[in-house]
Amino acid sequence: MYPKGQMSNHFRKMRVGDTLAVKGPRGRLIYKPGQARAFGMLAGGTGITPMFQLTRAILENSKDKTNVHLIYANISHDDILLKDELDGFARKFPNRFKVFYVLSQPPEAWNGGIGHISKEMIEKHCPAPAPDIQILRCGPPGMNKAMAGHLVALGYTPQMQFEF
């Protein structure tokens, strides 16, 4: 729970037995093996969920040669969901899966990105714009809006982008 998080505050006020209406997911990606040479993935917080599902489907299919480049942003190291699994993919598939973590409140001994996902991070850690590249993003609204701007500035066309 985050002190200033809108949902965190709502959940704190709920009592046992209260209900909450939920809708989603917003975007639906129908994946076919080989539809892209590579995916760049920009995830923030719980936005890792669809990225993880797609990554696992790609990497566990021995016939699928798609590469995956993930930039995953969180507030603190403790907020990184599925870190062991993601690091396991990076070890097991070093030529097909790369992950770069970004923290806005990193610990002292941190060798990942600091702050928010930047244009420079995307340029360095994602595949360059090309017709056979797709960039996926899933995170808080402000992050998605900022990433859309970065992607356009870097030359990714709307056809190369998908937001969950």
| Residue ranges of the binding site for FAD | 7-8, 49
* Nearest one of 154, 112, 115, 144 to 43, comparing CA atoms: 144
Task: Let me know if 142 is exposed, middle or buried by CB neighbors in 10 A (0-12, 13-18, 19+).
Answer: exposed
Q: What's the chain's Rg over C-alpha atoms?
A: 17
Torsion angle of alpha carbons 140, 95, 81, 83, nearest 10°?
A: -150
The gap from C-alpha 118 to its chain's centroid, in whole angstroms, comes to 14
Query: Which phi and psi (to 5°) does residue 103 adopt?
Result: -125, 135
Q: Return binding residues.
A: 7-8, 49
Cα 2 to Cα 120: distance, rounded to the nearest angstrom: 28
| Residue 51 token pair | 């990225």
Cα 140 to Cα 122: distance, rounded to the nearest angstrom: 17
